């Protein structure tokens, strides 16, 4: 069962991906295209991720790992065949002879081997591909990868979105991440863990407008916030709002945070940490256009809320006494520093209890003074991919408030 009607209800079940060898495929010469700030060190990244997972399990959260779910989904030969065909079609391989060879190679693999290969990719100099001698494959051999890896997939918030009892499969903006949503769709439709789940897709992965989960904050069973950003378009927001209104939701708030990598998703700048408290980015408060979408005879209507985050969040939550904690405090240099280190990106595991990186001491002190319990762990390697604990987790079940 999927049940996510808030960002703060006690977390009962979550999906994570423990980084694997795919991180070792991040090339220093291609950091920008692979969406990393620097090459991560796998052994330390895994230690950090294990510390994160232990905090969750110690709090009573059931942790499901993506690789286990993929293996479960791929037990069926029919599912493997359909997945491989769709995955390779989305992998931008121009040589038909190479596609044919790769398809044969993938389908001969065990579920364990297939999962590892999907995540790590296949290099062009792989010995298993050397008999592909067609002229059309000559250009492909100049690339490092015949099939590119998925090193960003440990940011599980982005590629599928739990919302109520349903799901949104993300149409991801960056080429490096587009195939992740295909992986998650097969997992959530075919892994044994999801067999009793009646999720409906609130979007359509074939729809060309971009949408990513880091821009979606679930406030309640009637109100949702979605960031209009580098990764999520206004048209996608309207589409999702229409789907939500058909299911009884009454309003969607759109925060236009701009087209900047530093604030690529709304959850880099805004996290709900208690029933009346948000952690936020004060540098863009007062500069962000905010809109309220609502059901209308024409489908979706909207009005302009303004630029004041406190006013908008008070309206969205129905609480005029809502509290906003500024990431980094009052000093703009401290704020920029701690935002860059994902200080505003935390995962609530219960009302007033969150998990975050230990590298943002000013913000952590402010949370403590506000009565928010914070669990922390080191993040020197995980943070190289520009995501925090909220980014790394896909809630599947939360208690109702």
| 228 shares a domain with 358 | yes
For the beta carbon of residue 200, count every other beta carbon within 10 angstroms: 10
| 384 shares a domain with 245 | yes
In a domain, 267, yes or no: yes
Dihedral Cα 16, 21, 22, 25, nearest 10 deg: 150
In a domain, 1, yes or no: no
| 56 shares a domain with 99 | no
What is the distance between the alpha carbons of residues 377 and 90, in angstroms, rounded to a whole number?
36
Please state the φ and ψ torsions of residue 330, each to the nearest 5 degrees. Answer: -95, -15
Rounded (10°) angle between helices 96-107 and 77-89:
150
16 contacts 143 by C-beta, under 8 angstroms: no
Q: What is the pLDDT of residue 262?
A: 55
| 227 shares a domain with 137 | no
| 166 shares a domain with 139 | no
In which domain, by residue range, is 171 found? 11-63+154-398
| 263 shares a domain with 115 | no
In a domain, 247, yes or no: yes
Q: What is the pLDDT of residue 208?
A: 82
Distance of CA 219 to the CA centre of its chain: 17
Name every residue whose Cβ is closer than 8 Å to that of residue 370 and which is 6 or more positions away in sequence.
277, 323, 325
Q: Are strands 353-357 and 160-163 parallel, antiparallel or unpaired?
A: unpaired
What is the distance between the alpha carbons of residues 380 and 357, in angstroms, rounded to a whole number?
9
DSSP one-letter string for 297-358:
TTEEEEEEEES-HHHHHHHHHT-TT-EEEETTTT-HHHHHHHHHTTTT--EEEETTEEEEET
pLDDT per residue as tens, the chain (401 positions):
899 999 999 999 999 999 999 999 999 988 888 889 889 999 999 999 999 999 999 999 999 999 999 999 999 999 999 999 999 999 988 888 899 999 999 999 999 999 999 999 999 888 998 887 655 555 555 678 999 999 999 999 999 999 999 999 999 888 889 999 999 999 999 999 998 878 999 998 788 889 999 999 999 999 999 999 888 999 999 999 999 999 999 999 999 987 665 567 999 999 999 999 999 999 988 889 999 999 999 889 999 999 999 999 999 999 999 999 999 999 999 999 999 999 999 999 999 999 999 999 999 999 999 999 999 999 999 999 989 999 999 999 999 99
Choose the final residue of a domain: 147, 172, 193. 147
Choose the final residue of a domain: 78, 113, 147. 147
In a domain, 69, yes or no: no
- Residue matched to tokens 């590298």: 359
| 218 shares a domain with 138 | no
β-partners of residue 224 are 218, 252
| 131 shares a domain with 46 | no
- In three-state form (DSSP H/G/I as H, E/B as E, the rest C), the secondary structure along 194-258 is HCCCCCCECCCCCCCCCECHHHEEECCCCEEEEEEECCCCHHHHHHHHHHHHHCCCCEEEEEEEE
Q: How far is CA 333 from CA 49, 236, 278, 340, 364, in A?
A: 28, 34, 21, 11, 16
The three-point CA angle 143-109-123 to 5° equals: 10
Identify how many contiguous H helices and E strands the chain contains and give both numbers: 10, 18
In a domain, 78, yes or no: no
Q: What is the pLDDT of residue 174?
A: 87
E strands of 60-144, at which residues? Answer: 62-65, 122-123
Active site residue 391: yes
| 166 shares a domain with 131 | no
In a domain, 5, yes or no: no
| 177 shares a domain with 101 | no
| 257 shares a domain with 168 | yes
| 106 shares a domain with 159 | no
Q: What is the pLDDT of residue 176?
A: 87
In a domain, 75, yes or no: no
In a domain, 40, yes or no: yes
Residues across the chain: 401
287 contacts 307 by C-beta, under 8 angstroms: yes
If one counts the domains in the chain, the total is 2
Burial of 49 (0-12, 13-18, 19+ CB in 10 A): buried
Catalytic residue among 148, 228, 327, 391: 391
CATH number of the domain within which 19 lies:
3.75.10.10
Choose the final residue of a domain: 147, 164, 186. 147
């Amino acid at each position: 069962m999927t049940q996510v009607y808030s960002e703060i209800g006690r977390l009962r079940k979550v999906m994570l991906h423990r980084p694997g060898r795919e991180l070792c495929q991040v090339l220093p010469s291609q950091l920008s295209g692979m969406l990393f700030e620097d090459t991560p060190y796998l052994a330390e990244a895994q230690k950090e991720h294990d510390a994160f997972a232990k905090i969750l399990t110690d709090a009573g959260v059931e942790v499901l790992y993506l690789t286990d779910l993929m293996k479960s989904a791929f037990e069926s030969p029919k599912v493997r065949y359909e997945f491989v065909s769709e995955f390779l079609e989305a992998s931008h391989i121009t040589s038909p002879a190479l596609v044919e060879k790769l398809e044969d190679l993938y389908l001969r693999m065990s579920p364990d081997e297939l999962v590892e290969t999907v995540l790590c990719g296949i290099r062009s100099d792989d010995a298993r591909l050397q008999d592909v001698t067609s002229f059309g494959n000559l250009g492909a051999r100049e690339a490092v990868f015949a099939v590119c890896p998925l090193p960003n997939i440990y940011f599980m918030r982005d590629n599928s979105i739990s919302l109520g009892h349903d799901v949104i499969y993300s149409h991801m903006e960056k080429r490096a991440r587009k195939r992740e949503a295909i992986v998650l769709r097969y997992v959530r439709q075919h892994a044994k863990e999801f067999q009793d789940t009646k999720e409906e897709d609130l979007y359509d992965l074939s729809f060309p407008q971009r949408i990513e989960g880091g821009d979606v904050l679930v406030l309640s069973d009637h109100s949702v916030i979605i960031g209009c950003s580098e990764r999520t378009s206004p048209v996608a927001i309207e589409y999702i709002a229409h789907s939500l209104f058909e299911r009884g939701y009454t309003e969607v708030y759109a925060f236009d945070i701009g087209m900047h990598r530093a604030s690529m998703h709304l959850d880099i700048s805004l996290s709900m940490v208690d029933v009346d408290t948000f952690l936020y980015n004060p540098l863009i408060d007062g500069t962000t256009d905010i809109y309220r979408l609502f059901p209308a005879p024409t489908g979706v209507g909207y009005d302009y809320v303004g630029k004041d985050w406190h006013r908008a969040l008070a309206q969205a939550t129905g609480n005029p006494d809502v509290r906003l904690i500024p990431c980094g405090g009052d000093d703009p240099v401290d704020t920029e520093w701690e935002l860059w280190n994902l200080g505003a990106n935390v995962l609530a595991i219960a009302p007033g209890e969150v998990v975050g990186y230990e590298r943002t001491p000013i913000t952590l002190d402010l949370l403590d003074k506000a009565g928010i319990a914070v669990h922390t762990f080191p993040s020197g390697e995980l943070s190289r991919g520009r995501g925090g604990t909220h980014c790394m987790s896909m809630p599947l079940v939360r208690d109702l408030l």
